[in-house]
Amino acid sequence: MASGQTQAPLSQLQVTIKSAKLKDTGSGFFSKGDPYVEMTVDGQPPRKTEVVKKTWHPSWNEHFTVLVKPDTCLDFKVFNHFAIKSDVPLGHGQVQLLPLLKAHNGKLTNLPFALEIKTEVKGNTVKGGDLHLVFDGLCVKADVLARLGVIIQNGPSSQPNGDVGNAHRGRSNSSQPNNAQRPSQGDLASQAAAIAAGALEQLTIHQEWGKEEISTTAASW
């Protein structure tokens, strides 16, 4: 076992075995089965549901609280119960928690899960039905998952970090004047000289008009 697996802490997980849709494999003497589920966590003693009689679509809705690691494997077996002979397996399936934690950012909260179970019929592996589960109450920290080689996102982001930096830099540029757009001292001097020249020209024109008006008045007298 890898060192990362041995260091992973134990956490509580609530597993709800809700229901199943099973196929009649023809292994019983009756038209309908009496199914139940056996769940095993990392090789620990199995936990079992009650037997639901005379149906291939059983509903259990039973809750089990188990201790798991992020890389725990949950093993599910469905049996058909018989009173006068050994119970007959109807299907088997496994759930690896690590891919689920990776897909859901390290949190399993009221997560429904349909597990396809397989069975052996005359030497061939065939689908035995679907087992409907719900996983709840498990939260694993990002650093714990990172030690197991799983990198998760802390939460949804409106844009990548790089774009945030670019947007921030863009706002800074718009709020502060650009040095390239500032007029130089030479430009300011040229503008001032042009304004002064214009004012002088206007003053000269007014003076000429004044002389003409004085000459006209003197001539009339």
Phi, then psi, of 169 in degrees rounded to 5: -65, -35
What residues does 114 pair with on adjacent strands?
132
Residues 88-114 have pLDDT tens digits of 899 999 999 999 999 999 999 999 999
Long-range contacts of 114-122 (CB under 8 A, 24+ apart): 115/76, 117/20, 117/76, 117/78, 117/90, 117/91, 117/92, 117/93, 118/91, 118/92, 118/93, 119/25, 119/89, 119/90, 119/91, 119/92, 121/25, 121/26
**Res. 208: pLDDT tops 50:** yes
Residue written as tokens 């509903």?
Answer: 59
> Which carries the bigger pLDDT value, residue 64 or residue 172?
64
Q: What is the pLDDT of residues 24-62, one digit of tens each?
A: 765 555 578 899 999 999 989 999 999 999 999 999 999
State pTM to two decimals: 0.65
CA distance 95 to 115: 8
Whether the per-residue pLDDT at 117 is higher than 60: the answer is: yes
Is the pLDDT at 155 greater than 60, yes or no?
no
Domains of the chain: 3-153 (2.60.40.150)
Q: How confident is the model at residue 175 (pLDDT cuts 50, 70, 90)?
A: very low
**Total residues found in the chain within this entry:** 221
CA dist 179 and 213 (Å) reads 52
Task: For residue 164, give the amino acid letter.
Answer: V
